[in-house]
A and B are shown apart, each in its own frame.
Chain A
């Protein structure tokens, strides 16, 4: 029998009974291939059934189990006890989001930001059903594919110091999503989205810290998307000087 254990500190907050968040410690059995998410499930099943956290797929696809592990935004299913043993692990809800309960955060603002960038294919004027399906070469797909891999986990918002300072900033995931549609050969909505980019809270809220790309579990690289969009916005600014709309 494996008798090794590891201590996990969890920041808890139950709005109906707690004045403010507090830390509660749990001791769970240490097994090399236990993920942080599985450790949380162990705590809920065996130690304290009142603890709340989000999860679904257990394999870094759904983007539900984002949390701060030792102050770094990570997916609970993609981090393992072995990476921390024998030290204790601190778990907190994602930074820069309001806490709903325990490790669950309110993602409303994030969802609204995603919606705000017109994240859908906007057809051109001449597009009609009878012209058949869109053709796309591998090269045309390569231009946006990376930015389409986002699972909306929100880790980049927890990492972004600019979003933390001013949450009017549209933020990394939403801007990467904007780039994903902007760079798609089937889309003709660039002019509409350009107005969103050009704002102070659009791409210009970013100072290229790059932490969003470091923590991204799907290698989307939102920082790169934003820098590419800054170039587009700058070109549009120059054109706007000579041809105001």
Chain B
């Protein structure tokens, strides 16, 4: 027990990534099937009028603050979710080399794309 008392505990920063992962997972689970239903089935089969989803309408939607926010969240969170899974998947596959670089590449990509999308959306205002 003595050795345990001397132990110093190091806090992990995982809650940040786990939080984004969890939020992205919820979105993927709930929103993606609905989006596939709308864009993959209901529109092609003619149940929803195609003109609702033409360029002008979507551009108008993306140009509002709430539309831009929804699009950003729909792209960014599943991306963080995916790369968190890939990062941990690499560990599960036993790829031990360059864990720091794996982390930088995975979360760096998610971060970069999130910023890129945000910039694009911001430029549309």
Contacts and interface: CB of A to CB of B under 8 A. Distances in A.
Given A115-B1, A115-B4, A230-B18, A165 B12 contact: no
B10 interface: yes
B109 to A, nearest CB: 20
B12 A198 contact: yes
Contacts of A116: 4
B11 A240 contact: yes
B16 interface: yes
Given A115-B1, A198-B9, A165 B16 contact: no
Interface in A214-241: 230, 233-234, 237-238, 240
Contact of B92 (A196, A202, A207, A238): A207
B6 interface: no
Interface residues of A, number: 18
Given A199-B9, A199-B11, A237 B94 contact: no
Nearest to B84: A207
B10 A234 contact: no
A200 interface: yes
Closest 10 CB pairs of A and B: A237-B15, A204-B14, A195-B9, A234-B15, A200-B12, A204-B12, A198-B11, A207-B88, A199-B9, A116-B4
Interface of B: 1, 4, 9-16, 18-19, 88, 91-92, 94
